[in-house]
Chains A and B, each alone.
Chain A
Amino acid sequence: MDDKRGRFEAEVLPHLNAAYRFARWLAHSPGDADDLVQEAILRAFRGFDALRGSDVKAWLLAIVRNCHSTALKQQQRRAFVPLPEEHDAQDGYAMVATTPDPESVSIHRDEERTLERLMSALPEEHREVLVLREIEDMDYREIATVTNIPIGTVMSRLARARAALKARWLKEAEGERRGVR
């Protein structure tokens, strides 16, 4: 038992920060993210014996994602409707908070917050592939493992996610220009 604990701490816990970052992008509040990570780590520990030589980080993040969707399903009993694969580049603008704080002093800090807000407003399917690719620096195969979708879908989803983020960024910039005048 102690041996298992030792191996677990050596192999899995180095990815705790990645699990936490990913959870923060999935969960609605920091508190939810904490619970999510704890639940995932416990599940990972219970399933640790079955893990053989595969990518530990992708394995752990897949568990985080799985715990998240289980919690979500329990929270909202209504059926989960997956996003359509097409025509979703322009959806969801309504979710973006409309007016950026006009009194922001630092432009950089403002951009930081804008980007964070735009990312948060992306549909979850888009947000997760972007986070895994750009922040966690995972390759397509690892992303496919975490999100449980084929590599081809990873590629198309990533392309749509990037296009959607850019479109929102442009729209935001345009809105600000109009707002100034």
Chain B
Amino acid sequence: MGCAESLRVQAYFDGEIDAVSAADIERHTEHCAECRALLQDLEQTRTAIRRDLTPGRAPPELRARIMRALDQETAVKTPRPNEWGRSTWRTRPFWVGALGGIGSAAVAATLAFVLLSPARTNPVLDDLVAAHLRSLMPSHLIDVVSADQHTVKPWFAGHTDVSPVVADFAQQGFRLIGGRADYLDHQRSAVVVYQHGPHVINVFSWAASQRASPKNTTRNGYHMAFWKAGDLEYCAVSDTGWDELLGLVRLLRDLSARDARQ
């Protein structure tokens, strides 16, 4: 496929371009034999697939099985631990690797911190610090690498239980670098990752519970800012200064407020 226009010709065939570009392509194919042949091929392939591969339907037994599974799911109010085990599997190999490598110091620090913490500790705080530290170790910072909110946001839909606000604030100094799924407070939380100068800021989000949000605090040198927006609880964690961290929090809160008004 040598012609530089072949992808646009395909987009034309798939009805993905506007009328002006379509006229462009039609003119082009009058002169380009290769693209005319391409259009023919595309048409043939489509016809063959749609004629020969008859669309299947879910068998009734499967449908019944799924309804029974949903019945069970609705009957059980709180998630069983082994249901959630699945999503934590992902991080296992990572922990194994981290303990052998440079991550061990940080893990030890977290463990010591967890063990030495007074009993009043909110478990979510520990989870958050641990998750932030985990993210700083090799290859677990980002699952979806993108500076485009339209890539990061839909990604969360398939990988986490929540859909947080996402935007690139490069203008204000907070560059969107990607997203990640993390296990937190018994759910698959969404983490949006920003970069501010040399600092990484993890913005965690999860479905808010009845209990009040923790107060902003500092643990192990990491600042943690909490807020609620809609039915989601957010926490931004970073070793950047409070002013910078709260700056990002303000931007995100404004964004949530704008979204809510729409």
Q: Which residues of A contact B (CB under 8 A)?
A: 1-2, 4-5, 8, 16-17, 19-21, 24, 34, 37-38, 41-42, 45-47, 49-52, 54, 58-59, 62-63, 65-66, 70, 74, 108, 111-112, 115-116, 119, 130, 133-135, 139-140, 144-145, 148, 150, 155-156, 158-159, 162-163, 165-166, 169
Contacts and interface: CB of A to CB of B under 8 A. Distances in A.
B163 A51 contact: yes
A155 B14 CA distance: 10
Contacts of A21: 55-56
Contacts of B59: 20, 34
B49 A130 contact: yes
Interface in B136-179: 144, 146, 148, 151, 154-163
Interface string B50-68: 1011011111001101100
A177 B119 CA distance: 79
A134 B6 contact: no
B58 A20 contact: yes
A37 B155 contact: no
B10 A159 contact: yes
B7 A134 contact: no
Contacts of A2: 74
B45 A112 contact: no
Contact of B45 (A66, A74, A144, A165): A165
Given A8-B70, A155-B7, A166-B45, 14 more contacts: A16-B58, A16-B66, A19-B58, A38-B69, A58-B154, A112-B53, A119-B49, A135-B53, A145-B157, A148-B154, A158-B10, A159-B7, A159-B10, A162-B10
Nearest to B153: A54
Contacts of B33: none
Contacts, number: 134
The main secondary structure of chain A at its interface with chain B is: helix
A134 B49 contact: yes
Contacts of B45: 134, 162, 165-166
B41 A47 contact: no
Contact of B57 (A20, A50, A148): A20
A50 B162 contact: yes
Given A38-B66, A42-B70, A59-B157, A139 B16 contact: yes
Contact of A162 (B42, B58, B73, B161): B42
Contact of B62 (A38, A45, A111, A134): A38
Contacts of B48: 111, 115, 169
B144 A38 contact: no
B58 A37 contact: yes
B219 interface: no
Contact of B151 (A49, A74, A130, A150): A150
Contacts of B74: 1-2, 4-5
Nearest to A112: B52
A168 to B, nearest CB: 11
B23 interface: no
A133 B146 CA distance: 24
Contact of B207 (A1, A50, A163): A50
Given A37-B62, A41-B69, A52-B163, A155 B11 contact: yes
B218 to A, nearest CB: 30
Contacts of A159: 1, 6-7, 10
Q: Which 5 pairs, one residue from A and one from B, show the smallest C-beta to C-beta distance?
A: A62-B158, A20-B58, A112-B52, A134-B49, A50-B162
Given A5-B74, A34-B65, A155 B10 contact: yes
A114 B52 CA distance: 9
Interface in B163-222: 163, 188, 207
A144 B146 CA distance: 14
Most buried by B among A50, A66, A134: A50
Nearest to B57: A17
Nearest to B84: A46
B231 to A, nearest CB: 8
B6 to A, nearest CB: 7
Nearest to A163: B1
Contacts of A163: 1
